[in-house]
Structure 1
Amino acid sequence: MVPLKRRKLGSSHTGNAGTNSGDEVKFPQVVLFLLERKMGASRRAFLSQLGRKKGFQVQELFSEIVTHVICENNSGEEVRTWLDSQASSRPGAHLLDISWYTESMRAGQPVEILDRHKLQQELQISEAEVIMFSVPSYACQRRTSLENHNTPLTEALSLLAENAELSEDDGRGVAFRRAAAVLKALPSPVTSMSQLKGLPCLGEHSLRVIKDILENGSSIEVESTKNSERYNALKVLTGIFGVGSKTAERWIRAGIHSLHQLQDSGQTLNRAQQAGLEHYDDINQPVTKAEADVIGEIVEKAVVSVLPGAQIVLTGGFRRGKLTGHDVDFLITHPEEGREVGLMSKVVSWLESKGFLLYQKTTRNSYLESKDGPGRPASNIDRFERCFSIFKLAKEKETRTKDPQEVTENRVSAETDQNPNSDKLMNKQTDTPWRAVRVDLVVSPISQFAFALLGWTGSKLFERELRRWAGHERSMSLSSHALFDNKKGRYLRASSEEEIFAHLGLEFILPSERNA
């Protein structure tokens, strides 16, 4: 009769060389395999022998009966790739760090598997759980807060989107923006490409960039773009107020890549561009929420002084909860239809008389519902009466009392950190008691105010997706002026953002959750 211990060994180790038949198997339900990669042959042999002496089944060759794979200094992705290359593997086999093995040796039995023992926890998740991310196709259906769990990925895609937009390849730019928006809406960080299966708006190009970053920590394409002379020249030149990508491209073809080269080139600049170049450093410095609030108090005083009862709302990123921005946007209306007519010129005159405006350009309201109808180009947000301005904002007192040299050094340092590739102008004293800030003022009739508020709150992609949803899913035309039902041939009125969402068949999303 075969002894009990020999019988167990025979049944457990069939077809596996290297098993010491003299060692008793105490834990038949546990079958171990030590991965030699990075562990080394001699250390693996020693640990295997130690395990068998303690009563563990330790296989020399990997097979489908293995329940625990023991690794040392291996990443989970590395081990998973190795497992996939094997002819057979047991589904759900534990991938464990060497620490579980050594603790089990000390205990003389298999210890409980804790999270710290598992090799990259995400690899232990079942396939059904891996595809945990599920988001709607349209950004206007998703709630996107400022809490972004995938910043490295979204920043990379946003940079490629910006480069495409600067090159006037809007289609590619939108594709990257949509991909970034999907990642912003995810509830946790992406750690594996398998988690992205089935998600909308992730094209092959975006997936290649994401894969590159997940596997290598960075994207060659993104780094190449970030360091390219053309991209940086476009960034610097379009950073001038009043300069678009077409003008910047023309200047680059003329050999102009920096602000100093532009100053020395003799190029003719319009009034907006002259002001933009003069106040370049200030305009490209982020505006804080505190500064926006101060400007808001001044604008409100101007508005109320010339039209009592008028209402003013801070819009844009600040309404979505952002703490900094590139400019400050205000939407102005009056609860009595028609009272807002002529308001802008009076507000601008008041601000100019008080010395608050360094530059301003006002455009009239050119939208007439009866003549223009519902069809609005997607790129043309609105045609309200607007004032594009550069505001002269007094600095905080404590800043002005500092040593001028210290202020200058701190200012230059902060600006360099913000954009190390930008070509700063040093021809304006940085110890002035004020700074220049971009401010847009928009006047809307109360009948269009809800649409204007929705349009001017953003984000830009969220608004684009709202218009796309309206057209593709509801056969409607949406703009910052109105909503038109193309099937019924009539306008749909709304006195609040909630009503607009209801007309569109969408669940209402708060401004703080529109950060697509």
Structure 2
Amino acid sequence: MDKTRTPSLFPQRKKQKGMHPAVSLSSCKVKFNELVIFIMERKMGVTRRTFLTQLARRKGFRVENELSDSVTHIVAENNSYAEVLEWLRGHKMRDSSRFKLLDISWFTACMEAGKPVDSEKKYQLIVQQTYPATSYTPELETSSFVAGRVSQYACQRRTTLNNCNKKFTDAFEILAGNYEFKENAVLCLAFMRAASVLKSLPFTILRMHDLEGLPCMGDEIRAVIEEIIDEGESSRVKDVLTDGRYQSFKEFSSVFGVGLKTSEKWYRMGFRTLEDVKADKTLKLSRMQKAGFLHYEDLISYVSKVEADAVSVIVEDAVRTFLPDALVTITGGFRRGKKIGHDVDFLITSPELREEEEVLHRGVLLYYDLVESTFEQAKLPSRKVDAFDHYQKCFAILKCPQQRVDTSNCDTSKESEKAKAKAWKAIRVDLVVSPFEQYAYALLGWTGSRQFERDLRRYATHERKMMLDNHALYDKTKRIFLKAKSEDEIFAYLGLDYLEPWERNA
């Protein structure tokens, strides 16, 4: 399931000028006199530029507020080489050779190291990378690609299910999962962002040179890619897959209702497998976890598109029993074109929305957990990146008649013979009920993917001075909420090209 967790949205108090006093050149000791940095405000915004300037000065770097002959390094974010050159010409700087034109990743690496790092080619903005036609998938029929134009934001990249770099992204996702289990959010996000960038590329990475100009390719990322190119696999990934703690957390979290905290608790209690957990008769399980164990074999098997369509019929019939004019839309991965998933998500709305506690016939529900809307109890605004929204939700396990499914292309090794012989299958279903006027925002948020939604909100904040969540879009400059009847309108407000759901598989 693609859980899209977004911060609650309400207008924040407008910051007054002078709330963040500038750090002057004279107030900080300059440790590194060999370079002078200028940070471009273009596509970055004044607030972020001010923050980065102050951060660098506190660490001993010399950062100029104005472009001058003394500047040696120009740092840009989300700008191509051509765009920086055009900007320089606009400032009557025709000789760009005097500067090192660098991506923000170089600046970030310097801040992490606390000293200047080598500004080699991997950090430099480049003109245009031309790749041989054999580097591309046949469908593209093109032989050139401008790496410098690949945005750091997934919402500016068209990402289909045609992943040309699966051997790299699979490795990144394993490493990201391990860092998530270790609660290392920084490295988890770094590998997730890198995987997202590689998924969007219309060619296969064949050599390290192919990475030049791409965003989110830090040193750790590059090290893993280089080893896979040279050796065919990653030793770090092999170490993770054979790590006992990772194996236990992976197995524990496969149970419906078991998350990171419970996995950590069970591991500390000495459990290493699910059999250990089930053998302890004194352990108290939640109602959700009991249902997860009861239907475990079904729930860890893949849900096919055929099964998702069958569930859609059941859900729509049940909803329209109570709301004849209801709009029921499948969201998540299946809306993005996936053929298999782990659950099925639905968004429900109606112009005449009423109480939804009995929205499904109890006869088809094996388990359900109804979560009422939390608008009244919410403490707003929320600053969390991945917070739940405030819609009414029902997390359920549905009893679905077995469908005849073509599993020739699916990994069905986890399906038991018992599950195959049953006349029905337990399938996870999430129902989200939104007010009619917020439907477009809810649909955008619950369609995913998770990384796409994260970057969409980040783009709204840093590039448009807006706040976006699953409920609304707020323009902080105009201090107004922007109403939208469709996803297209939301993209238009943000100044983005509209991406179809199947182009959001970031």
Shorter-chain TM-score above 0.5: yes
User: Whole-Å Cα distance in 1 between the matches of residues 204 and 144 of structure 2?
Assistant: 15
Match for residue 57 of structure 1? none
Q: CA deviation at 1:281?
A: 1.2
* 1:367 aligns to 2:375 (yes or no): yes
User: Whole-Å Cα distance in 2 between the matches of residues 347 and 130 of structure 1?
Assistant: 50
Residues 147 and 212, structure 2, Cα contact 8 Å, conserved in 1: no
Q: 2:440 aligns with which of 450, 453, 472?
A: 450
The one-letter code of the counterpart of 2:225 is I
* 1:346 aligns to 2:358 (yes or no): yes
User: Whole-Å Cα distance in 1 between the matches of residues 152 and 275 of structure 2?
Assistant: 45
Match for residue 303 of structure 2? 287
Q: Structure 1 vs Structure 2: percent identity of aligned residues?
A: 43
Match for residue 208 of structure 1? 223
Q: CA deviation at 1:202?
A: 1.1
In the superposition, relative to structure 1, how do residues 158 and 281 fare at CA in structure 2: closer, same or farther (>3 Å)?
A: same
Match for residue 23 of structure 1? none
Q: Structure 2 matches for 1:236-247, cutoff 5 A? A: 236-247=251-262
In the superposition, relative to structure 1, how do residues 209 and 121 fare at CA in structure 2: closer, same or farther (>3 Å)?
A: closer
Residues 374 and 482, structure 1, Cα contact 8 Å, conserved in 2: no
Match for residue 60 of structure 1? none
Q: CA deviation at 1:500?
A: 0.7
Q: 1:182 aligns with which of 187, 193, 197?
A: 197
Q: CA deviation at 1:469?
A: 0.7
Q: Structure 2 matches for 1:32-43, cutoff 5 A? A: none
Q: CA deviation at 1:365?
A: 1.0
TM-score, structure 1 length as denominator? 0.67
Deviations along 1:296-343, whole A, 9 cap, x unmatched? 001100111111111100000000000000100000001x2xx2231x
Q: Structure 2 matches for 1:52-201, cutoff 5 A? A: 134-201=149-216
Q: Structure 2 matches for 1:8-23, cutoff 5 A? A: none
Match for residue 321 of structure 1? 337
Deviations along 1:366-395, whole A, 9 cap, x unmatched? 1259x7655452211411000000111111
Match for residue 402 of structure 2? 395
Q: CA deviation at 1:130?
A: 8.6
User: Whole-Å Cα distance in 2 between the matches of residues 140 and 173 of structure 1?
Assistant: 20
The one-letter code of the counterpart of 1:509 is L
SS in 2 for 1:301: helix
SS in 2 for 1:180: helix
User: Whole-Å Cα distance in 1 between the matches of residues 393 and 364 of structure 2?
Assistant: 17
User: Whole-Å Cα distance in 1 between the matches of residues 346 and 167 of structure 2?
Assistant: 32
Match for residue 489 of structure 1? 479
Residues 192 and 214, structure 1, Cα contact 8 Å, conserved in 2: yes
SS in 2 for 1:211: helix
Q: CA deviation at 1:166?
A: 2.1
Match for residue 221 of structure 1? 236
Q: 2:427 aligns with which of 437, 442, 446?
A: 437
Match for residue 303 of structure 1? 319
Residues 448 and 481, structure 1, Cα contact 8 Å, conserved in 2: yes
Q: 1:235 aligns with which of 237, 240, 250?
A: 250
Q: CA deviation at 1:227?
A: 1.7
SS in 2 for 1:189: coil
Deviations along 1:84-111, whole A, 9 cap, x unmatched? xxxxxxxxxxxxxxxxxxxxxxxxxxxx
SS in 2 for 1:386: strand
Deviations along 1:187-231, whole A, 9 cap, x unmatched? 110101011012101111111101100011000001111121111
* 1:472 aligns to 2:480 (yes or no): no
SS in 1 for 2:317: helix
How large is the RMSD of aligned CA atoms in angstroms? 2.7
The one-letter code of the counterpart of 1:446 is F
User: Whole-Å Cα distance in 2 between the matches of residues 476 and 381 of structure 1?
Assistant: 19
User: Whole-Å Cα distance in 2 between the matches of residues 250 and 323 of structure 1?
Assistant: 35
In the superposition, relative to structure 1, how do residues 502 and 397 fare at CA in structure 2: closer, same or farther (>3 Å)?
A: closer
User: Whole-Å Cα distance in 2 between the matches of residues 207 and 151 of structure 1?
Assistant: 15
User: Which sections of structure 2, spanning at least 5 residues, go unmatched?
Assistant: 1-131, 137-142
Q: CA deviation at 1:444?
A: 0.4
The alignment covers a number of residue pairs equal to 367
User: Whole-Å Cα distance in 2 between the matches of residues 470 and 307 of structure 1?
Assistant: 35
SS in 1 for 2:495: coil
User: Whole-Å Cα distance in 1 between the matches of residues 404 and 338 of structure 2?
Assistant: 25
Match for residue 393 of structure 2? 386
> If each structure's helix is expressed as a fraction of its own residues, which one has the higher value?
1
SS in 2 for 1:347: coil
Residues 451 and 497, structure 1, Cα contact 8 Å, conserved in 2: yes
Q: CA deviation at 1:129?
A: 6.6
User: Whole-Å Cα distance in 1 between the matches of residues 303 and 503 of structure 2?
Assistant: 21
Q: CA deviation at 1:489?
A: 1.8
Q: CA deviation at 1:464?
A: 0.5
User: Whole-Å Cα distance in 2 between the matches of residues 362 and 226 of structure 1?
Assistant: 36
Residues 171 and 237, structure 2, Cα contact 8 Å, conserved in 1: yes
Q: Which moved more, 1:197-206 or 1:318-327?
A: 197-206
Q: CA deviation at 1:121?
A: 8.8
The one-letter code of the counterpart of 1:346 is E
User: Whole-Å Cα distance in 2 between the matches of residues 191 and 179 of structure 1?
Assistant: 16
In the superposition, relative to structure 1, how do residues 152 and 445 fare at CA in structure 2: closer, same or farther (>3 Å)?
A: same
* 1:510 aligns to 2:506 (yes or no): no
TM-score, structure 2 length as denominator? 0.68
